[in-house]
Structure 1
Amino acid sequence: MLFLIQLLASILAFISHGHEARAQPANTYTSLVFPITKHTDTNPLYSIQITIKGVSEDYGNYMDPSKVSNYLIDIDAPIVWHDCIDYFQFGPLPISKCKDAQPYSYNSSSCPPLYLPNYEYYPCPVNVFNPVTRSCDDTYLNADLFEMKTSDGKSILSGVYRASVRGSCASRSSFQSFPKDVTGVMAFSSAPYALPASLGLYGEPLSTKFKKITALCLPSNSSTPGVLFVGNGPYYLPPNLDVDIRSLLSYTPLLKHPDSFGYFISVNAIVIKMRSIIIPVNATTKLSTIEPYTTLRTDIYTSLVRRFSKVTRRIPSAKPIAPFGLCFSTATNGTKVGLKVPNIDLRLHGGMTWTISSANSIKQMTNDVGCLAFVDGGSTSETAITIGTFQFENNLVVFDSENSTFGFSSSLLSQNTSCANFNFTITMDY
């Protein structure tokens, strides 16, 4: 009898995909909010922390009722996956549900082919892809109840929001390449099973509360957190509590890619001191929260380095430090000095300009050496440009799947604030 109850509970948890707010008055919160941790024990990666309620409280009381886990932020991942109990081994899915789910599994040459069973009910196989090792595992589709903090854009509110999110459980060995204590991947792509699309579905009263909008503000160090919002906004960063940071954004269209639920934009040119490096019309630009630095196809990279070297020829050069090809001395007579280098402007579709200032173009590698933080991606790179996380730090970037637009602020340091300034103090809202 217990097995039948568990079986029914897990099926209902998946099909209902239920959502609810707890201890939360109506019309006070505008978004979900998560502190972002920067990890430096590996290549720089970024995570958020979420409480997993399992299915215990609402759907069966046979799992640990509460578990706090850390998840890598991945704007390319189609589904959530993490270290959890694969309880759908007790609760198989209707074959129709599995057919609906499998197109949102990972599609990679390193992933094994997926087969649908010939039975009416069966555990639903899906692939999960490790973005660090670029390896693939076959797992089964699952569902978990997540508990998330709410915000009015200025601080954390006392109420919480709970959502049943489809995903997959993976073996613990899958996370050995991740930063310490990170045991999951949280999907923020445009996929139907990513977190932004998983909130307020099926005609629930909250269906209009959270639009499919992710606002990302990565910190530049590991000592203070950045902030991630899911929802409409507004977004505020002290000391400018009278300024909605959205007012600083420029927008460019998001482009669809046939093989990815990630985010792509069109970069028409890279401009340094009024001289343009023209980008081929058919070149694609991908946005990534996994790649640590912007990677350029060799022809574009060579042109960028040549132009940057010319406009910085008066700065003493230094021996390159991998993975970079152009480095400078940042010490004069044993004294560390700041590098004054020109901005790098990305000219985007629609005439918008994303300005990359020295804080996002020069990476301090040692006390005496700073390097141009762009990497040669090779001559055969399918993606001409991949914008990495170093160029995102202390920029507010907004992935708006509702309107298919990408919003960007350029460096917030010029606005006397940073991604580390959000107020994570809980405000009682009742």
Structure 2
Amino acid sequence: MAGLMRLIVLLSMFAAITLTSRAQYILPITKHEPTKQFYTTLDIDSAAKSPVNLLLDLQTSLTWLNCRKLKSLSLLRLVTCQSSTCKSIPGNGCDGKTCLYRQPTPLGVTPAVTTGRVVQDRATVSKASLRSFTFSCAEEKHLRGLSPQVAGVLGLSPGRFPFWRQVTTAFNIIPKFALCLPSSGTGRFYIGGANYYRNNPVPMTLTPLKNIGSGNYLLSVQSIYVGGSPLSLNPSLLEGGAKLSTVVPYTVLQTDIYNALARSFTQKATKIGMFEAPGHAPFTDCFDEGASTRNKRGLKNVPVIEFVLPGRAGEVKWRFHGENTVVRVLETVICLAFIDGGKKPKESMVTGTHQFQDYMIDFDFSTTLMAFSDSLLLHNTSCSTWPSRK
């Protein structure tokens, strides 16, 4: 009898561990249309419940925000310089006994880096309490360039102190998170391991993340196709990979890559009845949509752009369809939704949020793999309605 009871206890413990490891936490994602910025809303301070909107940024390590937006500053706990927390934060510093963090400004405004005090407070994630959420305080003047609704930046880098890692460590869940950026409505930010598509299965494709120790999310782009045809590119242009960004609105390409893409896209587009039109800044390659560019699903019937990536068993392709390859600027005029980044940019390819909209993108640090879906629009759903039964 005692042996049976021990077995039942062990099975119960195992079940509890399994359920915990597969737990899922969800936050909303909102798009601020004028600035094309995406933010989530987080409750900080479990006593006063201070909801703050924070810009999603894949490059920022430690979350920072205007702490005056919180209802109770007295509950903030200063992190000391000698603490293990402070010593683990990249770019840390000291102001007497107080830990400081050098806050990178994600939008390239001046100054590019500011300094704020590191603090801790409780945060609420899907009704669960994160007791020691570590972040830093910024002055309101350092929020220039952010949309009026936004109070700071949510760090989502591959580093040691991004928000997603603090959540997965505190709750002992699988170290992964997923983003579903909406083209309209409200999208979803998932943390932890769960079947996002249990009720509405959509194919997910795996590709390895490249050199995550760099602090960036990089993909190894092997080649680029437009309308089924490969671009003729110097292989050295693709060696640095494509950096993923949640603050750049449109994918930015080195000039030679952009010119090859635009030239091929224009050739394919004119063959299906589109006509070249004057550019509309910041876009240089625009087209009169014509009568043949919409199919029965309402998707624009324009050339598909494909990034060829390494997979587990050969190459895989990330396909961008109409809504992610072009942007409407006038009633009948659409433009190629890619930007010429110049001859010598810091990165040859930086993928923007317009290309991510209505795709599920999953970062799994237990495997260092990224999974991406087809365009959800091809499956009669979107990030604002996902998941839903057909």
User: Hey, what's the Cα distance between the residues in 2 that align with 1:180 and 1:250?
Assistant: 36
Using a 3 Å threshold, how does the CA distance of structure 1 residues 254 and 375 change in structure 2: closer, same or farther?
same
Using a 3 Å threshold, how does the CA distance of structure 1 residues 407 and 98 change in structure 2: closer, same or farther?
closer
| 2:64 aligned to which of 55, 63, 81 | 81
User: Deviation of residue 213 (structure 1)?
Assistant: 1.0
Determine helix, strand or coil for the equivalent of 2:377.
Answer: helix
Unaligned runs of 5+ in 2: 1-17
1:152 matched residue in structure 2: none
* Residue correspondence of structure 1 range 9-48 to structure 2 within 5 A: 27=19, 30-42=23-35, 44-48=36-40
User: Deviation of residue 363 (structure 1)?
Assistant: 0.4
User: Hey, what's the Cα distance between the residues in 2 that align with 1:184 and 1:255?
Assistant: 28
2:114 matched residue in structure 1: 137
Determine helix, strand or coil for the equivalent of 1:182.
Answer: coil
Say whether residues 1:127 and 2:81 are aligned partners. Answer: no
Amino acid in the other structure paired with 1:266: S
Deviations 1:391-418 (A, max 9, x none): 0001111111221111111211111111
Using a 3 Å threshold, how does the CA distance of structure 1 residues 74 and 387 change in structure 2: closer, same or farther?
same
Aligned residues: 352
User: Hey, what's the Cα distance between the residues in 1 that align with 2:77 and 2:192?
Assistant: 34
1:326 matched residue in structure 2: 285
Amino acid in the other structure paired with 1:34: L
Say whether residues 1:215 and 2:178 are aligned partners. Answer: yes
Could you tell me the TM-score, scaled by structure 2's length?
Answer: 0.83
User: Hey, what's the Cα distance between the residues in 1 that align with 2:77 and 2:353?
Assistant: 40
Deviations 1:325-345 (A, max 9, x none): 21001256xx9x975212111
| 1:193 aligned to which of 141, 151, 161 | 161
Deviations 1:354-381 (A, max 9, x none): 0111111010111121001011011111
Identity %: 27
Q: Is the 8 A contact 2:220 2:239 kept in 1?
A: no
Q: Is the 8 A contact 1:217 1:393 kept in 2?
A: yes
* Residue correspondence of structure 1 range 22-171 to structure 2 within 5 A: 27=19, 30-42=23-35, 44-53=36-45, 57=47, 65-84=48-67, 91=78, 93-97=80-84, 100-102=87-89, 104-105=90-91, 116=94, 122-134=97-109, 135-149=112-126, 159-171=127-139
User: Hey, what's the Cα distance between the residues in 2 that align with 1:274 and 1:93?
Assistant: 57
User: Deviation of residue 243 (structure 1)?
Assistant: 3.2
Amino acid in the other structure paired with 1:249: M
What is the root-mean-square deviation in Å for CA atoms of aligned residues? 2.7
Q: Is the 8 A contact 2:275 2:288 kept in 1?
A: yes
Using a 3 Å threshold, how does the CA distance of structure 1 residues 91 and 361 change in structure 2: closer, same or farther?
closer
1:414 matched residue in structure 2: 378
* Residue correspondence of structure 1 range 359-378 to structure 2 within 5 A: 359-378=323-342
* Residue correspondence of structure 1 range 348-359 to structure 2 within 5 A: 348-350=309-311, 351-359=315-323
Amino acid in the other structure paired with 2:192: G
Deviations 1:178-206 (A, max 9, x none): 112210111122111101211253xx6x4
| 1:292 aligned to which of 249, 252, 264 | 249
